[in-house]
């Protein structure tokens, strides 16, 4: 008998954050080009910031996929699209704590951290696709673990994402 596993997939791109960083990279490039005539050291400083920012964007440009099944939480990370894929499997019995913290300007960005025994903490950001549905499924599946007040407030609609 074939049993179909109920798996819910949530995509995590981080597109908005990358657009923000690319805009800063363009500003650093323009400052480096136009500042070259007045001060070479200031121009070199902006060029260094541009290089560091582009390296950071490239380092973070991984495709993330969070999969929630009744047995476990799976985080799939594909780096460089075709070269490597890594999976992190966390059984629901090992999830100890789910916390959400606000951050960014005006506390608009929410970061949910999932802590478990024997695994590195998993962070999921609010600019992920279907963040609210992900939080609802996460709190439903991670029932025996400690879920903080902000996470439960977001899932019940008492706090904004």
Residue spans of beta strands (DSSP E) within the chain: 8-12, 63-68, 72-79, 84-91, 95-103, 109-116, 119-125, 146-147
d(CA 24, CA 134): 30
- Which stretch, 23-37, 49-63, 116-130, has highest mean pLDDT? 23-37
**Residues 121 and 151 grouped into a single domain:** yes
- Which stretch, 9-13, 80-84, 129-133, has highest mean pLDDT? 129-133
What is the percentage of the chain residues whose pLDDT exceeds 70? 85
**Residues 132 and 145 grouped into a single domain:** yes
Q: What is the CA radius of gyration of the chain?
A: 20
CA angle in degrees (0–180, nearest 5) for 25-31-35:
155
Q: What is the mean pLDDT of the chain?
A: 82
**Residues 118 and 73 grouped into a single domain:** yes
Predicted TM-score of the model (pTM): 0.65
Does 91 map to a domain?
Answer: yes
DSSP state of 158: S
**Higher pLDDT residue, 59 or 146?**
146
**Residues 113 and 76 grouped into a single domain:** yes
């Amino acid at each position: 008998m074939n049993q179909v596993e109920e798996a819910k997939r949530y995509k995590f791109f981080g597109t908005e954050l990358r657009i923000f960083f690319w805009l800063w990279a363009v500003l650093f490039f323009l400052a480096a080009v136009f500042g070259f005539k007045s001060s070479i050291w200031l121009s070199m400083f902006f060029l260094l910031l541009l290089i560091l920012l582009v390296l950071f964007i490239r380092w973070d440009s991984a495709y993330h996929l969070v999969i929630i099944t009744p047995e476990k939480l799976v985080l799939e990370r594909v780096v460089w699209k075709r070269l490597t894929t890594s999976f992190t499997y966390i059984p629901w019995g090992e999830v100890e704590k789910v916390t959400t913290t606000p951050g960014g300007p005006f506390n608009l960005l929410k970061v949910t951290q999932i802590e478990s025994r024997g695994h590195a903490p998993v962070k999921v950001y609010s600019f992920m696709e279907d963040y609210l549905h992900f939080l609802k499924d996460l709190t439903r599946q991670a029932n025996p673990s400690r879920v903080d007040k902000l996470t439960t407030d977001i899932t019940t609609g008492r706090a904004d994402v």
